Chain A
Amino acid sequence: MNCDAVREKLIDLVYDELPAAERPAVEEHLSACPACREELEALRFARSAVAEHAAGEPAPAYFDVAAGRAVPVPTAMAAVPSSRRWLPAAAAVAAAAVLAVGVWVVHNAFVGTAVAEAGPVVIERLGVSLTILSQPEGWQDSPYDQTAMQQADVQMRQTERSVQTFYVPAQRGGGRPVWRGLALVRDQRLIRRLPAGVSRVRFTNVPSGILPDSVRLRSLDRPDAMSILEQNYQYDLASAEAVLRKHIDKPIRVVFKDDRTVEGTLLSFDGGTLVIRPEGAGPRNVSRKDIRGVTFAKLPKGLLSRPTLVWELVNRAATRQQFEVAYLTGGLQWRADYVLKLRPGRMRAEKARGEGIADIIDLADLVGYATVNNFSGVTYKDAQLKLMAGDVNLIKPPGGVRRLDRLGGRARAFADSGRAVMTEKSFFEYHLYTVTRPTTIRNAETKQLEMVSGSGLKLSRGYVYNPNANKTAARVVSELMNSKANGLGKPLPKGVIRLYAPDPTGFQTYVAKTTIDHTPTDEKLRLPWGHAFDIVCSAKRTHYTRRGTDQEATWQYQIRNHKDYDVNVTVMVTVPNSTYTATCNGYLWHVRQVGLVEIDVPVEADKVVDVSFTYKWDPTSGGGLSSPHDGKKSDRR
């Protein structure tokens, strides 16, 4: 065999495809010919370099046709040593999994690339944890106004990979969208081979609402071996406007809706018009409404397809390192939403308070959800979600991760919620609800997670007549004791509560909505629902005298109960602060606070009750009103 013939065969030898019959002849030649041997070595070397390059990095996965995507082989099953020949072991396992199980959860191990100077380094995402601060006020359904959104949609062609990051609204007056809400994101990623020396690492999967000054990158494995030279946040996004701006005085091609095209130099543009000068002709206005698309020669430099964090860092340990990027971002909000369903029928409390009529008791079931809203521009896959309850002081600009626990604020003592779905822990002055399962929070998604629930809760119903607020009607107020004895006893973060009541056919009907404050266990929840239809009230001042500085007034209140059952009505009377004596026609009254008196008035079914209340005051005196009934104090407001 001559050298040429042997070299043809070497490739078969490298890949073990040489028929056994030809092998001795080739080997004989190789032992005699150093040049051919060298070529074989070169081929083998190159092959092993490529094989090593391609081997091993991703976790074993298989493609699930039902799900239409690849899913990982469960780790217990995937413990197959990385074999050169991928089939059959891992394949058999994967195939067995396909036959045995249907669909697993989506999982994508690779979400970002860091571009070191010499080329890309794969960054593997290890886990992300989100701590979202509660902010029920200023709830935002979208950071964009609708027209800007539409404009953005029309102008941007979205690529397949980056649909979610291309919701870039048109730049209007240079304004960025308003981001409500605040969340702390800790994103842990593994960089297997970060070269030693100075390198530049880019993180692309960054929310648009990020607070750039809060970003911290640190190495968890070798914190001492890495120092950051520079940290940049680049968000000059390749929005349509930005691209157009960079193409002024440059050639573009405009495609109209009827497929005509115009090529020329872009002179200027605004929201409605492009001004183009075709070659050798005068300038021409083109309405953007008629345009289907604009083609640019190339993407100008310096524009990014998505917000990007760029670090220049010095690395002294060229080993695998786990990094954590922590930052605060807007665009993530959560609030508590409660649904309270009344059961049909009503009961009476065992004991009347004061004299007369016992309170009405309603039975109800409560479910509390955490509603999480993500408009941050990024999808968080399999995130560990923590929801923080308590009011954080946001007046100071949030300046970093560590500083979070120094922020002042108000919070309530929440006890353990004791549910499997969410666990609760106190954290400085706040309380954290941790969702025990990893949750995927997509961009532009509103997600609801069950937080608390209780059934058979007792609500005591009362009626409050406050002539200053409503002259003719009494407000319905339910009180719910947040205690274990009452079937609840779980901390309730601030939020919106909706009341459903059964109509006569038993159908649950939405009747009212109100908000509650942070309510710890063993505190009372007061739920004002609106005004009672069948209880009519009136108030008038019937008497006023003045003797020196002494003044005296009498008010007459009439309450007419048109219901077929007895109720208690609390009448709220505002008196001057300097009141020193008061009398009532036989009803219990209490001083709620300085200047506010409450009269408990039981009203039987279909009866009319008149209440007369007289008080004396002296603007020069210090006041100091006390009621003879304060010992029998009711705690109804």
Chain B
Amino acid sequence: MAKDEPHSEREAPEAVGEKPTGRDELSLRRAIAEAFDPLRRFMYLQCGAWHEAEDVAQEALLRAWRSRESFDGRADPRTWIFAIARNHWRDRLRRLDSGPRIQGMSDALKLMEPAPGPAAAAGRGEIGQAVRAAMARLPSEQREALALRESQGLTFREIAAVSGVPVPTAKSRVRYALLKLAEELKNFRPEAQS
């Protein structure tokens, strides 16, 4: 677009396909719109149910949009959005945990209970269910780190920023999560079976 003209660079709407900076409202709006798909993947990896994931992602994005005044434009907008989503998810879990149990009927909690275990699922050849079950058994901070990583788009630096931990911690969380999964899912590995 008008990138070549220095005087108009800051005013020009960003070209489609470029990473939104979030500095103006339009750009932030774009960042929020684009965040939906990775965010619901993130949530799906956390809770294991798409509809729940979509709900949480939707609410988180709505929250982000409402508190757009608080975004200072220095951070990466995606990191900011993911951090809001992560906090929203944690709030939600806490609410579900503490509230009267009649509210605890939410699918999220049911699904968060460790499923029957990967070995049982392996017998049926259902790797997807085994992954889900194994994910549910990960410690929450490892699951979160892995979910952020696999939601398609976040680097370790960004994960560290979202979770508020140093970069090496983010890395080792993902690493331990993967190693644990590999152990639990070893029956599905082609070479392990031979």
Roughly how many angstroms separate A41 CA and B30 CA in the complex, as a whole number? 38
| Min C-beta distance of B173 to chain A, whole Å | 10
A65 and B152 contact, CB distance less than 8 A: no
Residue A33, interface by CB 8 Å: no
A70 and B36 contact, CB distance less than 8 A: yes
A49 and B185 contact, CB distance less than 8 A: yes
| Min C-beta distance of A81 to chain B, whole Å | 14
Residue B135, interface by CB 8 Å: yes
Residue B162, interface by CB 8 Å: no
| Min C-beta distance of B180 to chain A, whole Å | 8
Known: A54-B44, A108-B54. A295 touches B185 (CB 8 A): no
**In the complex, what residues of B have CB within 8 A of residue A58's CB?**
37, 40, 50, 54
Roughly how many angstroms separate A92 CA and B37 CA in the complex, as a whole number? 13
| Min C-beta distance of B104 to chain A, whole Å | 7
B100 and A43 contact, CB distance less than 8 A: no
B131 and A50 contact, CB distance less than 8 A: yes
**In the complex, what residues of B have CB within 8 A of residue A297's CB?**
101
Cross-interface CB contact of A70 among B30, B48, B58, B156, cutoff 8 Å: B58
Roughly how many angstroms separate A380 CA and B169 CA in the complex, as a whole number? 47
A95 and B51 contact, CB distance less than 8 A: no
Residue A57, interface by CB 8 Å: yes
Cross-interface CB contact of B51 among A111, A197, A299, cutoff 8 Å: A111
Cross-interface CB contact of A110 among B50, B58, B124, cutoff 8 Å: B50
**In the complex, what residues of B have CB within 8 A of residue A296's CB?**
100-102
**In the complex, what residues of A have CB within 8 A of residue B128's CB?**
52-53, 193
Residue A289, interface by CB 8 Å: no
Known: A95-B33, A96-B16. A86 touches B179 (CB 8 A): no
Question: Which of A53, A68, A70, A85 counts the most B-chain CB atoms under 10 A from its CB?
Answer: A53
B34 and A50 contact, CB distance less than 8 A: no
Roughly how many angstroms separate A405 CA and B49 CA in the complex, as a whole number? 40
Known: A90-B37, A161-B55, A298-B101. A98 touches B188 (CB 8 A): no
| Min C-beta distance of A32 to chain B, whole Å | 20
B182 and A46 contact, CB distance less than 8 A: yes
Interface of A is mostly: mixed
Cross-interface CB contact of B105 among A95, A117, A120, A238, cutoff 8 Å: A238
Roughly how many angstroms separate A296 CA and B178 CA in the complex, as a whole number? 39
A45 and B30 contact, CB distance less than 8 A: no
Residue A61, interface by CB 8 Å: yes
Task: Report the contact-size class of chain A (Cβ under 8 Å from the partner).
Answer: 35 or more
Number of interface residues of B (CB under 8 A): 75
B152 and A86 contact, CB distance less than 8 A: yes
Roughly how many angstroms separate A41 CA and B128 CA in the complex, as a whole number? 19
Indicate with 1 or 0, residue by residue over A74-112, a CB within 8 angstroms of chain B CB atoms. Answer: 000000000011111111101110110000000010110
Residue A565, interface by CB 8 Å: no
B105 and A159 contact, CB distance less than 8 A: yes
Residue B84, interface by CB 8 Å: no
Residue A122, interface by CB 8 Å: yes
**In the complex, what residues of A have CB within 8 A of residue B126's CB?**
118-119, 193, 195
Residue A243, interface by CB 8 Å: yes
Instruction: Enumerate 25 A-B pairs (CB-CB under 8 Å) in ascending A order.
Output: A14-B178, A43-B175, A43-B179, A45-B189, A46-B178, A51-B150, A54-B41, A58-B37, A62-B33, A64-B33, A65-B61, A85-B152, A86-B152, A91-B17, A95-B20, A98-B33, A108-B54, A116-B129, A119-B48, A120-B132, A196-B124, A238-B102, A294-B100, A296-B100, A305-B105
| B contacts, CB < 8 Å to A | 13, 16-20, 26, 29-30, 32-38, 40-41, 44-45, 48-51, 54-55, 57-58, 61-62, 65, 100-107, 111, 115-116, 120-121, 124, 126-129, 131-133, 135, 146, 149-153, 155-156, 171-172, 174-175, 177-179, 181-183, 185, 188-189, 191
| A contacts, CB < 8 Å to B | 8, 10-12, 14-15, 17, 39, 41-43, 45-47, 49-55, 57-58, 60-65, 68-70, 84-92, 94-96, 98-99, 108, 110-111, 113, 116-120, 122, 157, 159-161, 193, 195-197, 238, 243, 293-299, 305
List 5 other contacts, CB 8 Å, given A54-B151, A160-B55.
A61-B36, A62-B33, A63-B35, A65-B32, A295-B100
